[in-house]
Amino acid sequence: MDSRSHRELVDHLFRSEYGRMVAVLTRLFGFEQLELVEDVVQDAFVHALRSWRTGVPPNPGGWLMQTARNRAIDQLRRGKLHLKFASTVDPGAAAIGMADLFHESEISDSQLRLIFACCHPVLDERDQIAVTLQLASGFGVREIARALLTREETIKKRLQRSKQRIKEAAVKLEIPAGAQLKSRVDSVLKVLYLTFNEGYLASAGDAAIRRDLCAEAMRLTKLVCEHPMSISSDANALMALMCYHAARFDARLGDNNELILLADQDRSKWDKELVSVGHVYLARSNPGDNPSAYVLEAAIAAQHSVAEAYGDTRWDYLLTLYDRLVEVKTTAFVRLNRLVVLAEQRGADVALRELASLDAESFVGNEHLYHSVSARLHEMAGDTEGQRSNLEKALSHAASSSERRLIEARLLSIR
């Protein structure tokens, strides 16, 4: 295997294994030793980069976990940390035993505990999301900044502050009970929602879709749905939403890894089995008369998933869903997406008038989305110059190569 291939493999495994390794070792050592945990995990991946140049082991993920485990055991044998973390080690982890902690069921349990701990109320909501994205999903500072629509320097300070507060509060890896559970589940779901979105709309690089990141978000959401203490209407709705979007992966990409818009997708490539799974989770959400944003977004995705063709979409019903969504989730992105549906239902001129109430500055880090939708509305209105102008602006703001290729193709199609 050449150096590029083995580096790509390590990068891939970093996404899928980093959070699992951090979760297990944090459960063993406690948050007081978080710096140690991060160092041990990082060291395992650095060791992989060096050791795999001449050949990759048969089970790379297992090799990484074993390496981290060996380093953890080495630290324990040296005895230097015994007095420091004797008071913070999770009694449950100690009772299970170190070897057992690396079994799949215990890894899953540890990850769920880690996510809930990162969403502890000692942190404000933005800090909860940032630290969970880093520790549980291996996000870099740049990716977190893009996901939270803020600057990298702000994220660096936020992560430092969050980890210090976690230590000072002696936060433990546990799933809360009683009144604390609902608010903590809400925070957890927001993190998983952002994680999936980062994979579905990759913020940088050549990959238009980062399937491994989406799969990780779905796996963790499934953990929340399956745990008797954390299962909820919103958890099921979020899982449904992820299923509907993941079902379109193969249709979203062309032969050259270019993005394909919903209107142009070959719906025969949609994964009907995954759509059916989405229907099951959506049915379990049981929202009643006051559906949440997760339920409404899942219902919107479901409507797209059942339409045989773009022209068969029930735009009237989708507009009703979006009107309700705006009431519970009044964000610039929701309003922007609603305008596309509004244009299909009532005409582009109506949508363009409402677009005037939105500002590109509301989409920091994602200005290309604003200009891309604006270009689509001008195209529907027959305004070629407005379409071209907005596509050029979108191209200047696009961060990923897949986004740029899509916008460039749309520009070339203008006659």
The full DSSP string for 109-140 is HHHHHHHHHHT-TTS-HHHHHHHHHHHTT---
Write the Ramachandran bin of 365: left for phi over 0, alpha for psi from -120 to 50, otherwise beta: left
First and final C-alpha spacing in the chain = 46
**H runs (alpha helix) in 169-259:** 179-200, 211-226, 233-246, 249-252
- The reported pLDDT for the residue numbered 6 is 63
Instruction: Report the DSSP beta bridge partners of residue 253.
Output: 259
Rounded CA gap, 381 and 214, in Å? Answer: 35
- The reported pLDDT for the residue numbered 273 is 96
Count the residues in the chain.
Answer: 415
Structure tokens at 258: 């270019």
Q: Chain-centre distance of CA 256, in angstroms?
A: 24
- The reported pLDDT for the residue numbered 76 is 63
Rounded CA gap, 321 and 408, in Å? Answer: 32
CA distances from 229 to 24, 107, 129, 383 (A): 20, 18, 21, 54
CA distances from 225 to 28, 240, 244, 394 (A): 25, 11, 16, 38
- The reported pLDDT for the residue numbered 308 is 93
Rounded CA gap, 174 and 141, in Å? Answer: 26
Q: At what angle do helices 34-51 and 60-78 cross, to 10 degrees?
A: 130
- Given the structure tokens 């596509």, which residue do they identify? 391
Specify the CATH class of 331-415 in words.
mainly alpha
Of 223, 218, 205, the C-alpha closest to 249 is 218
Contact of 298 with 238, CB cutoff 8 Å: yes
Q: How many helices (H) and strands (E) does the chain have?
A: 22, 0
Rounded CA gap, 355 and 348, in Å? Answer: 10
Q: Chain-centre distance of CA 192, in angstroms?
A: 5
Of 112, 115, 109, 24, the C-alpha closest to 61 is 24
Rounded CA gap, 167 and 399, in Å? Answer: 35
The full DSSP string for 53-98 is TS---SSHHHHHHHHHHHHHHHHHHHTTTHHHHTTTS-HHHHHH-H
- The reported pLDDT for the residue numbered 89 is 46
Rounded CA gap, 234 and 304, in Å? Answer: 20
- The reported pLDDT for the residue numbered 31 is 78
- The reported pLDDT for the residue numbered 87 is 42
Q: What is the pLDDT along the chain (415 residues), one digit of tens a residue?
A: 555 566 777 777 787 788 888 988 888 777 777 887 888 888 888 888 888 887 888 888 788 888 887 887 777 677 655 434 444 445 454 444 555 555 666 777 888 889 888 888 899 888 888 898 889 888 888 888 876 767 899 999 999 999 999 988 888 888 887 778 888 888 899 889 988 887 787 655 555 677 777 887 898 899 899 888 788 899 999 999 999 999 999 999 887 777 888 999 999 999 999 999 999 999 999 777 789 999 999 999 999 999 999 999 999 999 999 999 999 998 889 999 999 999 999 999 999 999 998 887 778 778 888 999 999 999 999 999 999 999 999 999 887 777 888 888 899 988 7
Residue 373 backbone phi and psi in degrees, to 5? -65, -40
Rounded CA gap, 217 and 126, in Å? Answer: 18
When computed from its CA atoms, the radius of gyration of the chain, rounded to whole angstroms, is: 23
Q: How do the domains of the chain map onto residue ranges?
A: 1-102, 117-202+209-223, 331-415
Helix, coil or strand: residue 259: strand
